[in-house]
Structure 1
């Protein structure tokens, strides 16, 4: 099948599929006319990649997961480790986002939101808040 058909079946844009081929995540056969010829297995791998990316796995993680998926002698501990490392990274990102939210909430609260030009939000972004005493 052509890239358009593969894209519809896998639920991915054709541009993404071409990118995955470019970086070596998939390697469809070539038809006699030189066009890509995607098999059902290729579509299955593309759907696998879509689900892994939707879970936030990096391209490198996807490459490892795909290799492990295709290796029937794999150890599930290897897969578990990749997933566990990803959970740890997600938890760190959540902490960072919570910290950003707390900082922004303080800044929003400190800002009068009126017609005056002084703004603790902009001062903080410019690195002036601590020096001027607005936030500290």
Structure 2
């Protein structure tokens, strides 16, 4: 099944003193470039494209800016025609994702990664696109 990857980079990075986390370098590459390189299918960045150097990636901004991850998902989905795809949602602050892990995550949807403490990580998850579009329609305004 086709995959659409949405990387959410719209935060203010206040805990980093305003330094845009996805633009930070890890192993010589920005965190956002590392996520894009590991991601399957078409990639859409929702938020800031700061730090992105790889070609072929769409960058959209949530409306209003800094309106949260749900608004970022809505903005990203609005720039692609609906389809029967898996949507991979990724936070823009995960430098150690790799293609093998993301392939496992998208093998069966829905799928939500868990951290070492067993907590669900909703910004590292795979969903049927239809489910996300339906839920966005149900909630209305996705801001905040």
Q: Does TM-score exceed 0.5, indicating one fold?
A: no
Q: Which has the higher contact order (CA 8 A, sep 6+)?
A: 2
* Larger radius of gyration between Structure 1 and Structure 2: 1
Higher strand proportion (structure 1 or 2) = 2
Q: Please, what TM-score do these two structures have when normalized by structure 2?
A: 0.26
Q: Please, what TM-score do these two structures have when normalized by structure 1?
A: 0.27
